[in-house]
């Protein structure tokens, strides 16, 4: 049941937060709506009672039922999506979006939230193409401006620099949003104005934990190199890796390469990296890219006879499509040599939340995909903010924002520890990471090497600001 977008997404599109041009001039609407659901998530209160008439509400909320309502007696809450279905992140944005549609359909099938159904409609879903050039975010900002007159909140906004370009619009309209990404800056109100509800460990903690794991399994005195995209994703993860290396006494990398994405630089960008690494023969190569660059860099080294190295990849560097087609020949090498850090357990993990996700994916004929898992997990805080706002009898955007800024008790059905957005970021940030390896027999193409753990240095990290500060 592999989708067309999955089969064509990778090797020509980076699956990570890549700073490249998207080629779109205007935001365009798209929809992948579905009504077939299964495995409703369980944290927020659900009921089929009619919405209370005295509840305060404004933009994006009606006491009338949703179009094609699942629960005719419920009111309707409208959410928006700003994603990438046509640019470098189409292989990520597509499954994120379908997961979020499936998540909210499952909530509605389970009765909704205290008298309200929640929907993402076609006209409220925008493909912004992950716009960065010539300046970050014009499509994203335009989409946010349009949605500011239509929806209560954003179920998804993809890309850190594009999101930053739209923050002024979100702030002016009291619109909270779930980010598609793990930049460490989203933990701090100075960076997100209390509007962005992130889930899972930031990239830099993944880097710290991943490097600590590799230090525990590699021989003492190993050499290492770092290859990272020049983006919030690449440099935030790289910051964590370098923090860990310094504290673990691993020395400096024998090479630190600022990788140009394959979309932007083509074969020449890959050849340059392979050419720089070959004579150095590092024991470990940390690769913080999308799956396209990951496959081409490792494949280029193996093709030229260098196979005696381990790989640490960030979670967006892996995509199960790499198990097929031209890259299938590399699967034995990756199985033996590659490890990836994940912010939560992979597809087959035994938790109620994973089970609900898998049931919804199967019912809606979705492929096992890390993007789908991310879209599912990122929906939990938005759901809890809505539930707590309804409990306060005030669904205005201003109150939903106030609820979000002090939100506690966010349950993830066992996928993550209960979350909080109140208090000191150092006290509430998720610091745990999974490590997975390539497994062609597993759903999603990976299976655990280490369940959720927090390295000593990640546990002790003071976390007083973003690990990587985005300038400009």
- Indicate if the pLDDT at residue 77 is higher than 70: yes
> Does residue 465 fall inside a structural domain?
no
Are 450 and 330 members of one domain?
yes
Asked, for residue 466, whether it belongs to a domain, the answer is: no
Q: How far apart are CA 411 and CA 399, in angstroms?
A: 21
Domain membership of residue 157 (yes or no) is yes
| More confident call, 131 vs 279 | 279
In this predicted structure, what is the pLDDT of residue 14?
36
Is the pLDDT reported for residue 16 higher than 80?
no
Residue 468 lies inside a defined structural domain of this protein = no
Same domain for 89 and 131, yes or no, is yes
Range of weakest confidence among 40-44, 262-266, 447-451, 463-467:
40-44
* Least confident range of 46-60, 120-134, 304-318: 46-60
pLDDT at 151 over 70: yes
Using the structure block, give the residue that is written with the tokens 């999974």. Answer: 434
Tokens of 143: 């989409």
Q: What is the DSSP letter of 419?
A: B
Banded pLDDT at 35 (limits 50, 70, 90): very low
pLDDT classification of 26: cutoffs 50, 70, 90: very low
In angstroms, the CA 257 to CA 276 distance is 9
- Residues 286, 256: Cα–Cα separation, whole Å: 10
Q: What number is the average pLDDT over the span 355-369? A: 96
For residue 51, the model assigns a pLDDT of 72
Going by their DSSP bridges, the two strands 284-288 and 224-229 should be labelled as parallel
Q: Residue 208: which residues within 8 A CB-CB, separation 6 or more? A: 240, 241, 243, 244, 455, 457, 458, 461
What is the mean predicted confidence (pLDDT) over 184-210? 97
Instruction: Kindly state whether residue 235 falls inside one of the protein's structural domains.
Output: yes
Strands 75-83 and 310-313: what pairing? unpaired
**Cβ atoms within 10 A of the Cβ of 394, count?**
16
pLDDT score at 50:
66
Q: SS3 letters for 158-178?
A: ECHHHHHHHHHHHHHCCCCEE
Q: What is the pLDDT of residue 326?
A: 95
For every residue of 364-399, DSSP letters joined together read TTPPP-HHHHHHHHTHHHHHHHHHHHHHTTEESHHH
Answer whether residue 2 shows pLDDT above 60: no
pLDDT over 80 (residue 471): no
Question: In whole angstroms, what is the distance from residue 323 CA to residue 341 CA?
Answer: 18
Domain identity same for 260 and 384: no
SS3 425: helix
Same domain, 263 and 356: no
Percentage of the chain with pLDDT > 90? 81
The reply to whether 381 falls in a domain is: yes
- In this predicted structure, the answer to whether residue 33 has a pLDDT above a threshold of 50 is no
Q: By C-alpha distance, which of 167, 155, 195, 187 is closest to 375?
A: 155
Q: What is the pLDDT of residue 88?
A: 76
Mean pLDDT over 187-197 rounds to 96
Which pLDDT does position 190 carry in this prediction? 94
What's the pLDDT at 49?
A: 61
**For residue 469, is it within any domain?**
no
User: What's the rounded mean pLDDT across residues 347-369?
Assistant: 97
How far does Cα 144 stand from its chain's mean position? 19
In this structure, what are the phi and psi dihedrals at residue 139, rounded to the nearest 5 degrees? -65, -40
pLDDT recorded at residue 21:
29
> pTM for the whole thing?
0.88
Q: Are residues 184 and 217 in the same domain?
A: no
| Choice among 29-43, 120-134, 337-351 with the minimum mean pLDDT | 29-43
In which band, very low, low, confident or very high, does the pLDDT at 87 lie, cut at 50, 70 and 90? confident
- Range of weakest confidence among 13-17, 107-111, 168-172, 354-358: 13-17
- Cα within 13 Å of Cα(42), Cβ side: 11
CATH of the domain at 413: 3.40.50.2300
Structural domain total, the chain: 2
Q: What is the mean pLDDT of the chain?
A: 89
Residue 141's pLDDT is 95
Regarding whether 151 and 43 lie in a shared domain, the answer is yes
**Residue 74 located in a structural domain:** yes
Of 238-247, 261-270, 320-329, 389-398, which gets the smallest average pLDDT?
A: 261-270
Q: How far apart are the first and last CA of the chain?
A: 43
The pLDDT value recorded for residue 231 is 87
Residues 134 and 257 in one domain: no
How far apart are alpha carbons 439 and 382 in whole angstroms? 33
Shared-domain flag, residues 298 and 188: no
Judge whether residue 230 has pLDDT over 50. yes
pLDDT > 70? residue 11 = no
Do 207 and 192 share a structural domain?
A: no
* Whether the predicted pLDDT of 42 surpasses 80: no
Parent domain of 420? 4-200+348-424
Same domain, 70 and 180: yes
- For residues 292 and 390, state if they share a domain: no
Pair (282, 362) in one structural domain:
no
């Amino acid at each position: 049941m592999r989708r067309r977008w999955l089969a064509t997404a990778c090797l020509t599109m980076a699956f990570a937060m890549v700073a490249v041009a998207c080629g779109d001039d205007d935001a365009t609407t798209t929809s992948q709506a579905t009504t077939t659901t299964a495995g409703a998530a369980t944290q927020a209160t659900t009921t089929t009672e009619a919405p209370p008439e005295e509840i305060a509400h404004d933009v994006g909320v009606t006491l009338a039922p949703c179009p094609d309502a699942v629960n005719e007696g419920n009111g309707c809450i409208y959410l928006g999506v700003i994603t990438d279905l046509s640019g470098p992140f189409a292989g990520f944005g597509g499954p994120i979006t379908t997961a979020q549609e499936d998540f909210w359909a499952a909530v509605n099938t389970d009765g909704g939230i205290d008298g309200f159904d929640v929907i993402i409609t076609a006209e409220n879903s925008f493909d912004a193409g992950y716009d960065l050039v010539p300046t970050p975010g014009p499509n994203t900002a335009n989409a946010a401006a349009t949605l500011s007159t239509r929806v209560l909140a954003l179920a998804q906004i993809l890309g850190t620099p594009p999101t930053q370009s739209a923050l002024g619009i979100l702030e002016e309209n009291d619109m909270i949003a779930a980010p598609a990404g793990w930049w460490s800056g989203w933990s701090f109100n100075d960076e997100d104005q209390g509007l962005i509800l992130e889930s899972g460990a930031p990239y830099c903690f993944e880097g710290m934990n991943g490097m600590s794991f590799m230090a525990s399994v590699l021989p003492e005195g190993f050499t290492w190199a770092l290859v990272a995209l020049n983006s919030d994703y690449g440099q935030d993860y790289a910051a964590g890796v370098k923090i860990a290396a310094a504290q673990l006494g691993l020395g400096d990398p024998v090479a630190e390469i600022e990788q140009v994405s394959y979309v932007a630089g083509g074969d020449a960008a890959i050849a340059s990296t392979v050419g720089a690494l070959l004579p150095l023969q590092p024991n470990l190569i940390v690769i913080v890219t999308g799956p396209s660059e990951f496959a081409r860099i490792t494949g280029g080294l193996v093709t030229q006879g260098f196979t005696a190295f381990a790989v640490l990849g960030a979670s967006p560097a892996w995509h199960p499509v790499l198990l097929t087609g031209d890259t299938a020949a590399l699967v034995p090498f990756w199985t033996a040599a590659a490890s990836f850090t994940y912010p939560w357990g992979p597809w087959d993990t035994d938790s109620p939340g994973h089970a609900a996700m898998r049931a919804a994916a199967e019912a809606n004929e979705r492929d096992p995909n890390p993007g789908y898992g991310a879209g599912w997990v990122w929906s939990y805080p938005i759901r809890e903010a809505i539930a707590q706002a309804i409990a306060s009898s005030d669904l205005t955007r201003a109150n939903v924002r106030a609820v979000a800024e002090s939100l506690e008790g966010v349950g993830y059905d066992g996928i993550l520890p209960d979350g909080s957005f109140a208090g000191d970021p150092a006290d509430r940030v998720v610091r745990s990471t999974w490590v997975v390896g390539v497994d062609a027999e597993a759903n999603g193409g990976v299976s655990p090497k280490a369940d959720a753990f927090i390295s000593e240095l990640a546990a002790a990290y003071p976390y007083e600001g973003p690990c990587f500060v985005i300038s400009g």
